[in-house]
Structure 1
Amino acid sequence: MSSRPPLRQLTRLYTLSNQLPKLHHGRLPPLVQSISTTPAPRLKARIPPHRNTFIQTRFTEADVPGLPFWIKHTVPPFVPNGEVSPTQCFEACKRYVHLAIENKPNWQQHNLSLTATSPTTTHDGTIPFFTLHYAAITLLLFAQSREPRFLALHILTTGTTANYVPSTLTLALLGHKTNSLGNPQFAHAKESLARLLASPDHRSSSEYRPDTLTLAALVQSGTNTRAGADRAIQLLEDACKAYSAAGGTWHWRARGVLALSRLLLERKQTARARAVLSAAVDELDDPEICFRYAMLLPRSDAERRVLIQRAAVSGVDEAAREMARETREGLEEEEEKGLSAWERKARGVMADEWAGIAGDKAIL
């Protein structure tokens, strides 16, 4: 039995990208220091990143956040009820740090379980990587200092080198989002992602196939080349086929649908893009997909405005901006019908409110 795919938190990496640790040339940034008249100590020469940068132990047991941190963040909907507990994450990290610092030969093989289906299924004293993976992403998103995030990257790199698929996808996603996937410290993630693409029928990777293909497509589309776009379209179409054939869960389907529709529109294949978005509108209920689909509908289609408004109230700035524009245009068109001063003012206020939602105008 394979472990349940703990990719819910990976999906959060798309929507909480502002909380990700920002990597400057592959390094975590230094913490802001207070101004002081004391002479600064001499800094050591900075070592360029290399393929084992994230395997270095730049943390201690004291750097594991206390239990209150885990109680605060290991909660639904970020972590579903019963999936993994705050105490399990805390204790797993403590044990992992001790083992990593001790660094005995083959300690990963002897002390980590990559096949555990839950935090409590090991009976041999090994640490379920299932739990460590959840803990690592929690640290990436919510830790306020460098060392816990170094620990998270260490855990994810360990999982990646051991072919634990969720860790590969997480680390590769982080490299992609920070434009660092081609850098040496992400070499393990890049190589592991390539292996996943080359082995679609491997038991440990088949359930992650649609997400693996989606991530690979996003990487290819980021090359901004004709060949990269061609490859991205093929990968996304393969992801759709893999999902249709096997069912299960495609956590990154919304990202895949949006990427595929964008690439098709760039190729002037509007009908195909509309069909891709239409098939996903009701099933995914994603506000950005609703907006992108609505913008491909004729102005006379009653569904168009409904979908744009639905996206606007769900936080899509472009949709709110479009609502403001259409409200103003409608006001201009209807002024000829003899609207009263009160009606004109009311509709003008509504247009300003939509603009305010989009961040274009302050609402007082």
Structure 2
Amino acid sequence: MGRLNDLAALGQAVWLDFVDRKFLAEGGLQKMVDEDSLTGVTSNPSIFEKAMGHGDAYDAELAAYDKTNPEAPTMDRYEHLAILDIQAAADTLRPVYDRLGSKDGYVSLEVSPYLANDTDGTIAEAQKLWKAVNRPNLMIKIPGTPAGVPAIAATIDAGINVNVTLLFSQSAYQAVAEAYVEGLEKRAARGEPIDRIASVASFFVSRIDSKIDDKIDAGVGGDAAKPLKGKVAIANAKLAYAWYEEFIASARWQALAAKGAQVQRLLWASTGTKNPDYPDTLYLDTLIGKDTVNTVPPKTLDAYRERGTAAATLNQDVAGARQVISDAERLGLDLDGVTDTLVEEGVASFSKAFDDLLGAIAAKHPAHA
């Protein structure tokens, strides 16, 4: 029993922020499920671009698909490959899902990043992917953009599990938490079951510190701001969790809980440290709490396995976290502006990765390039 197993005892699930055909085929995921208490997997366009766009692991499968579907557009070819990987990962995690009674054991697949500002398109794509993967332990990833919020409510209402991605601000998180509840309430009002529907709210961490630290290094806030370096993202996450604790104590949530509803867990994303001056386990050690998930890239997972610290840190010194956010505002670090920018950059980054991914797949079948 290692450090990663200790997190489960503290109520935090560990998910792997990585998926790859070779890794799945060689039993890498199964090993982590067995040895590290791993209970989930996330993917995104950047991860698939690295997996499919480089090397030859997907070439044979793609060639076989092209033979039977010679006129298939590049998007269909990508989806065919992605769905096979997601199904394989979901099947590996199915015993976890069954053992935990649908509370965990999920694999996430993202709707096209091109749909980030298209509510109806997102809803339709979520339903299409859900049907195509055909696994109960799938989560459809939908960005927490203004257009994404009603899509999240509609997708939950349709009985589809949702991983809300690209959350940076507390206000955006609160909006998607309420969208989750709205979707459950509509199902419950029709007398439909809500006990096996799951959702996570993926709240991004390290990118906030990168932006804020750059501002401090550029002189914003003067010397008074320097002690805030490396602290704003963690404080922001702690306040999101404090709001979550209040929310699930509310009469509105308790009415759903009485019908078996599962809480929408906060999931910490972007937890690999970008600044080499910070400990590589910083965003794991400081964000451990009940009913949360940390989705971790392989390198950071290895670091935590070696030298992480397992303790319930998430609800420690919440007053201090409030002070950090208050100081950041007073000193002109503009957290709201930073989080708005990060959403735009996140959508653009995933769209660029998707462009590159589709381009790489097209290049492997020149007739479709």
| TM-score between both structures, scaled by the size of structure 1 | 0.27
Bigger Rg, structure 1 or 2? 1
* Higher RCO by CA contacts (8 Å cutoff, separation 6 or greater): 2
Instruction: Give TM-score, length-normalised by structure 2.
Output: 0.27
